[in-house]
Amino acid sequence: MRIIFENENWILSYGPINSQIAGYLYLEPKRHVEYWTELNDVELTAMGPIIKQVEAMLKDRLNIDRLYVVTISEAVRHLHLHLIPREEGGNVKGLPLIERALNPQERTTDSNTEAVNQLIQQLTLYMTKA
């Protein structure tokens, strides 16, 4: 897990590089919860501004058109949100894009890894300044 930002309640980390989706992130509570009803009011209140910041930074850095926020929590029984950006003018939308994020390719290239490392640095800087 490559952490981009964390506060007292939430951890924001980069998703699998081999998903081939630039800016794919996870947002998860620090404490273990499996259900939305287990989140307290402080955690719920803190979540919205983080998602808002993420969307703003991805629009700024990657020119995204949409940010999908998806919760499945089947493979890992811990509430976590998949933040899946859809690029402006991208041909893959909706469920096919979500499926691509959740079923990554088996390998990545060095150039993809380097681009992701640069993006992670930019996102980390953005989140710590916000």
72-102 pLDDT, tens digit per residue, is: 877 788 999 999 999 998 889 999 999 888 8
For residue 90, the model assigns a pLDDT of: 84
Structural domain of residue 54, as residue ranges? Answer: 2-92+121-129
pLDDT number for residue 114: 82
**Count of domains observed in the chain:** 1
Is the torsion defined by CA of 73, 78, 82, 83 positive or negative?
positive
> Does residue 13 belong to any structural domain of this protein?
yes
DSSP string, 59-93: HHHH-EEEEEEE---SSSSS--EEEEEEETT-S--
Which CATH number is 10's domain given? Answer: 3.30.428.10
Strand partners, 70: 82
Q: How many angstroms from the chain centroid is the CA of residue 23?
A: 7
pLDDT at 110 over 90: no
Q: What is the pTM of this model?
A: 0.88
